[in-house]
Structure 1
Amino acid sequence: MSMSVGGDAAEEKPITDINTTPLVDVMLVLLIIFLIAVPVVLQSVKLKLPDVRFDPTTTKPENVLLSVTGDGANCNVYWGMSPVTSTELLNRGVEKLKAEIERQGGVGNPALELPEAHIRGDVNTPYRCIGGAIYTMQRAGFAKVGFISEPPPGGNPRPS
């Protein structure tokens, strides 16, 4: 390496170029640190999935109670105690919602409380059956679709 120490008095001007070598060195070190640290952080994320606990729901007479069962080939949806097809489920959901809105005074009512759809799914039911019931009720206009479950035996119904 060589360095310019001096020369003519006319050529003595301060060097105005930025020395980027230290900057590049620091950036390379930071890049290596991040390349090593990020996979370690991503792989060490531990999750605790929620326990099966529930908040007690208040059952209102205007809410819709659906039961869903099924095996690998067939899905069975029950509105109350009567079996329905997906088309009947959609039509009954729309009719129920319209009737409830009219009963409460129409869409202009500021205190309008829409009914909810509560789904009880058998533990062995494929997700596509339950997901289909959720989708159909949302298409019918139900904004709140929830699940009904049983607490574990001897368990506290409220999370501690």
Structure 2
Amino acid sequence: MAMSGGKDDGSPMMEMNTTPLIDVMLVLLIMFIITIPVATHSVDIDMPVPNDQPLPDQPDPIKNKILLTEDDRILWNGDEINQQQLVNLLAETLRFEVEPELQYEPYPAASYDYAAKVLQIIKTSGVSKFGFVGNEQYRNFGTGGPANPVGGAN
């Protein structure tokens, strides 16, 4: 530790000696670190008991796919339908014991306005299992087409 006795001209030292204060602060910091309890948080999870019996056969989930074409046609699982038939089919799917998953895929050149109208029909029908499919073809936004156009680069 360096000590200073003031200036050589005999005038008293006007600065406070902070070295002892820093030493006390470091000792207190070490004591606080030692006394902090170790973090022993745990979350108890009841895991299922392993069992050798095979699982019962699960039926494949029913999936209905709606496609919108460039010429404003609605395809339900490949069959062309109109808007009223779409409303009826959606109402029919809600009566199943297990609601089927509805997949929605507009073609790249499909009308945005018509796609929004079909989405509104689906929304008002009360369908809860709904998903967009085929979005991977739009992953390069602004390129003017699918992700891997023929003769084009990614």
TM-score range, shorter chain: 0.3 to 0.5
Larger Rg: 2
TM-score normalised to the size of structure 2? Answer: 0.45
Q: Which has the higher contact order (CA 8 A, sep 6+)?
A: 1
Name the structure where helix makes up a greater proportion of residues: 1
